[in-house]
Structure 1
Amino acid sequence: MRYRDPKCECEIEYPGAYRRWCESCRTDGPLPGSLADPEWEQRHTDPAVLRKAAARLDDDYPEQADSLRKEADRLDDALAATEH
């Protein structure tokens, strides 16, 4: 699941694809596992990371937080199914 950090307003400058960090990412860091997270490719399928992101979104974006929790549960279920 690829999702955006709704508070991220970072910009990419070319050439070289230099990232100009927005105020939200400078103060709180990018939302874990989101496209704003520099390590999102490794982290966006980790249920713990998705739950941490959901906790940060609870107050301002409850629908997105719920969606992330559901995806984390789905990933947990898929992992449990492969372990049996």
Structure 2
Amino acid sequence: MTATPPTQAAIERWLIERIALLVDQPADRIDPDLPLEACGVTSVMAVGLSADLEDWLGIVVEATIVWDHPTAARLSAHLAAACAGRPG
């Protein structure tokens, strides 16, 4: 099975939409360069987000990834690279 990995832009859109739902804000109010904690994402939300990303992307996503890549922009760049490098 060959699937095209999601782009950084697609992952960032997904993240922004999910964060907006979690913090009950419109997606256009979520700044991709602002730390997720500043957007209102709690540690419990971050762990759930990590699990959702793992399910969606089909790669291992550590529960602490939000602390290692604290903005939607940085997180999406990291995840896109990880998806591109996974064996097909």
Aligning the two structures, in what range does the TM-score lie when normalised by the shorter sequence?
0.3 to 0.5
What TM-score does the superposition give when structure 1 sets the normalisation length? 0.33
The structure richer in helix per residue is 2
Greater radius of gyration (CA): 1
The structure richer in strand per residue is 1
**Higher relative contact order, structure no. (Cα contacts within 8 Å, ≥ 6 residues apart):** 2
What TM-score does the superposition give when structure 2 sets the normalisation length? 0.32
